[in-house]
Structure 1
Amino acid sequence: MTSAYLIMDNVSVVRFFILSGLNETNEYRVTLFTFTLLYYCMIFFLNISIIMIVILDENLHEPMYILLCSFCMNGLYGTTGFYPKFLLDLFSSSHQTSYEWCLLQAFVMYSFACCELSILAVMAYDRYLAICRPLHYQSVMTKRKVSLLICFSWFTPFALFSINILLTSRLKLCGVKIDRLFCVNWVIVQLACYKSDTKDITAYFTLIIYFSHGPFIIWSYMHLIRTCVKSKDDRVKFMQTCVPHLISLVMFIVVPLFDFVFMRFGSTDLPQSLQNFISIEFVLIPPVMNPLVYGFKLTKIQNRVLGSSFFAKKYGQ
């Protein structure tokens, strides 16, 4: 096997990493490749469908649907950072990934996750204004305000994790084995020969920013629920627009949060297959469930899908 280290000026420089999480896929990699490819195509089709529906229908150029469009775009971004590389790795006997590609994948996966959480927080704020402050909704959620919120959701993770990855790239590493199906920044940092206080401060600062989204979302829903119990119309609006958001939120947060705790404080007693599932749940279930849930629950999206297919052909609309 080619050495994972390159000796330069008596210093070992890591050339590639080995993803040991793929070791248990050797026996059924053809089957896994087929189903993974089909699944990725389904993710692509569902999310592209929602994006195109929102873009092409001017009646859907409202804050909630624009945020949904951004939500699906982020789903495509995150899954593109995982599935193509995973499909290639299935047929690699060494399960190696280059140092540069590993850092790039770590950046994509982390920025995707944090962008997803930011968009969920903005969507909670949008629902809070629409239901709890309906008279102020139009004046507050202007197109400019929505654009700024979406920019915040996307560019803040990009900026923060550009700094994190840059700091990671400056570390001297004493290991190349990553017990995952994909590259994780925290695991790469754990391979460092020495501890970096600057890197720790940056990482914890990023964690504080994104964990603070949780209390904001909880606060929004406390007000939403308190308002909705008073009115039948508000309860209907809550069921149609807030339930999909809650489903997305729970799916995205619960298992990745467990993985986050396990990655830092857990043991290695769990079977590798279970560790693999937990680590990829956030690119496995939400990217499919989100467009399906919103497509079924949001009346305008549902009517647009039905109107552009069966009913359009039948009635010539």
Structure 2
Amino acid sequence: MDNNLNITYITIDAYVELDKYRFVYFVIMFTAYILIICSNSTIVCLIVIHKNLHEPMYIFIAALLLNSVFYSTALYPKILFDVLSEKQIISYLACVFQYYVYYTLAASEFLLLTAMSYDRYVSICKPLQYPTIMRKTNICILLVVAWILPAGQFAVPAAVIIFCNNQIYKLFCVPSRPITVFGVLFLLNVSVFPVFFILFTYTRILIICYHSSGEVRRKAAQTCLPHLMVLFNYFFLLTYDIITVRLETDFPKTARLVMTLQLVVYNPLFNPIIYGLKMKEICKHLKKLFCQDSFK
């Protein structure tokens, strides 16, 4: 293969009989993509349209679901194209770009979940200070950090990968150890530190709820339970990715396929369902929307 062309060939039929069920897989993946886009976009639009949903908690939910739309759009078109193609190929630059977008948005989702846990912490543990702390300016800062920090940090290894691909510049490229150290720092910033912060916030929330009335516990459970469900699921999938990919463990192919499908299907598809059904105000607007449509 010519190094100047640098085409990467990707085979995806190691897991499934692609040739035999090509159109079945396409219909399933296309349906999943449409459902992801429609369900996430519907709740985002409801939050934007209705003024009573212009609160920090719902703004963070909208940001999280919007991130899922970007995440799915970065993956599904290429997957659908590959399913219908005889040869699954991608250029080197396109592969690096998709790799960059995938991990940037995955890290952003975790930071958005961290911002949501902070919002719940302030709301329940410091209710009198909530309007002062969760001002529009602070909300914007949290959203910008959640998207810009991973994008900026992950741009460095992505740029090094592209730069070092050229044979002429390989002598100038940094060795693997500094890149590994940078990767560890990136993981600490977007995963480990947020995990400790989330554990701290929910520990404080549990302590406050334990010493509060039943009404406070009920409201806390109503707003925190959906977030915890999404958080635990996403942390589990993120841990899987670190163990199997980063540590290069010998994981069964079928199990890898199931877990990968959860990353690209389960999380983006079920997040809007969880928030739509469990968040009272969002559920109320969804019922109005679909009930009006059914009577027209």
Q: If the length of structure 2 is used for normalisation, what is the TM-score?
A: 0.91
Per-residue CA shift, 1:159-191, capped at 9, x if unaligned? 1111221011122489xxxxxxxxxxxxxxxxx
> Is the aligned partner of 1:209 residue 2:200?
no
- Cα distance per residue 1:53-104 (max 9 Å; x no partner): 0011111111001111100110001111111100001122221111111011
1:112-149 Cα offsets, whole Å, 9 max, x none, are 11000000000000000011110110110001110111
Match of 1:24, SS? Answer: coil
The alignment status of 1:23 with 2:14, answered yes or no, reads yes
Deviates more, 1:278-287 or 1:68-77: 278-287
The yes-or-no answer on 1:142 pairing with 2:135 is yes
Q: Percent identity?
A: 26
The answer as to whether partners of 1:128 and 1:223 remain within 8 angstroms in 2 is yes
Query: Which of 52, 55, 59 is 2:52 aligned to?
Result: 59
Alignment of 1:265 onto 2:250: no
Which residue pairs with 1:197 in the alignment?
Answer: 177
Aligned residue in 2 for 1:304: 285
Aligned to 1:283: 264
Cα 1:280–1:109 change in 2 (3 A) is farther
Aligned partner of 1:91: which letter? L
How far off its partner does 1:29 sit? 1.8
Query: 1:116 & 1:194 partners in 2: Cα distance?
Result: 29
Letter in 2 for 1:306: K
CA distance in 2, matches of 1:92, 1:304: 42
**How far apart, in 2, do the equivalents of 1:246 and 1:114 lie?**
17
* Unpaired segments ≥5 residues, structure 1: 7-12, 175-192
Alignment of 1:1-317 (within 5 A): 3=1, 5-6=2-3, 13=4, 15-25=6-16, 26=18, 27-172=20-165, 195-210=175-190, 211-230=192-211, 231-268=213-250, 270-271=252-253, 273-310=254-291
Q: Partners of 1:58 and 1:78 in 2: how far apart? A: 27
Q: Would you tell me which structure has more helix in proportion to its own residues?
A: 2
| C-alpha displacement of 1:293 | 0.6
8 Å Cα contact 2:244/2:250 also seen in 1? no
Q: 1:158 Cα deviation (Å)?
A: 1.0
Q: In structure 2, what is the Cα distance between the partners aligned to 1:146 and 1:283?
A: 28
Deviation at 1:312, TM superposition (A): 7.9
Specify the code of the residue in structure 1 equivalent to 2:287: L
Hey, what does 1:187 align to over in structure 2? none
Counterparts of 1:22 and 1:213, CA distance in 2? 37
Contact preservation (8 Å) 1:256, 1:279: no
Q: Taking structure 1 as reference, are residues 269 and 309 closer, same or farther at Cα in structure 2, changes over 3 Å only?
A: closer
Whole-Å separation in 2 of the counterparts to 1:161 and 1:128 = 29
Cα distance in 1 for partners of 2:223, 2:61 equals 11
Normalised to the residue count of structure 1, the TM-score between the two structures is 0.85
Q: Secondary structure at the match of 1:23?
A: coil
Length, aligned pairs only? 287
The 2-side partners of 1:283 and 1:312 are apart by 30
After superposition, what is the alpha-carbon deviation per residue over 1:178-229, rounded to whole angstroms, capped at 9, x for unaligned? Answer: xxxxxxxxxxxxxxx9942332222121011122110000111101111112
